[in-house]
Amino acid sequence: MQLAGKTIVLTGGTDGIGRELALQLRAKDAHLILTGRTASRVAEMQSLGFEVITADLSQPEGVEAVLKGLGKRPIDILINNAGAGSDHDFREAQPDLADNDRCIFLNLNAPIHLITRLMAGLKSRPEAMIVNVTSGLAIAPRAGGPVYCATKAALRSYTQAIRAQLAGTSVHLLEALPPVVETKLTAGRGSRKMAPAECARQIVVGMEKNAQEANVGMVKLLQAVHSISPALARKIMIRF
């Protein structure tokens, strides 16, 4: 896809991978509309000239805020990047179900709601794209993050299913599967992490190539292992 001139809605565009995507896509001459929920990071991106809709997508009200901010503007690309983890480890403490519910809504429900509400407009464009950012953990889960892994696996399954539904339309579906990236979400989880800028670069390449999947960094190896032995991939990843 030619990105120049495209209007892109990028959720979670004020930090981490999203921030780098915003910068790199703007460098491709795309017009970005970001969403973010932390006032200081929203203000920082606005100071760099980005339009930002303040919205907490872990709640239904956040989805409505995004849709209200967009109004009737035509959208060419929707990138569902916003995401968060949630503690759910019985070996450490009783899980906080309210926090788990926020994680589930942010990682899964919000993308489904935005896709559904924006689909008619996307279909009306001569060329459109939906990018769902899942995770290598959508392929095989780790024991310490069952709720996060479940949401990403569910979004992966949803992406594959609606890709089939949209065959023959102008809307292309890309799933981006990052590895462990150096962000606030992964703080304290080891030292071998990908830089957000490189992760974003590989996702942008996938967009330009109209790829169905952008397997980023070490996820390429995980996919290869999974294609040979799903059981082995699960055995490797469950320990992390």
The Cα 160–Cα 163 span in angstroms is 5
* Fold (CATH) for 7-237: Rossmann fold (3.40.50)
- Segment 187-234, tens digit of pLDDT: 555 567 899 999 999 999 999 999 999 999 899 999 899 999 999 999
- Segment 70-98, tens digit of pLDDT: 999 999 999 999 999 999 999 999 999 99
Residue/partner pairs of 94-103 with CB below 8 Å, 24 or more apart: 95/147, 100/147, 102/58, 102/59, 103/58, 103/147, 103/148, 103/151
DSSP E strands: which ranges in 59-127?
A: 77-80
- Spell out the residues 6+ positions from residue 29 whose beta carbon is closer than 8 angstroms to its own: 3, 4, 5
With 60 as the cut, is the pLDDT of residue 53 above it? yes
The candidate with the shortest Cα–Cα distance to 172, out of 119, 210, 116, 213, is 210
Catalytically active residues are 148
Average pLDDT score over residue span 55-74? 97
Say what the pLDDT of residue 185 is. 60
Average pLDDT score over residue span 47-63? 98
**Chain centroid to CA 190:** 22
Spell out the domain ranges in the chain: 7-237
Instruction: Report pTM.
Output: 0.93
- Segment 8-22, tens digit of pLDDT: 999 999 999 999 999
State the chain's mean pLDDT as an integer.
95
Residue labelled with tokens 């000239």: 49
Say what the pLDDT of residue 183 is. 72
pLDDT bracket for residue 165 (50, 70, 90): very high
Buried-state track 60-77, b at ≥16 Cβ within 10 A, e below 16:
eebbebbeebbeeeebbb
Contact assessment for residue 52 and residue 35, using Cβ atoms and an 8 Å cutoff: yes
The Cα 73–Cα 125 span in angstroms is 12
- Segment 129-161, tens digit of pLDDT: 999 999 999 999 999 999 999 999 999 999 999
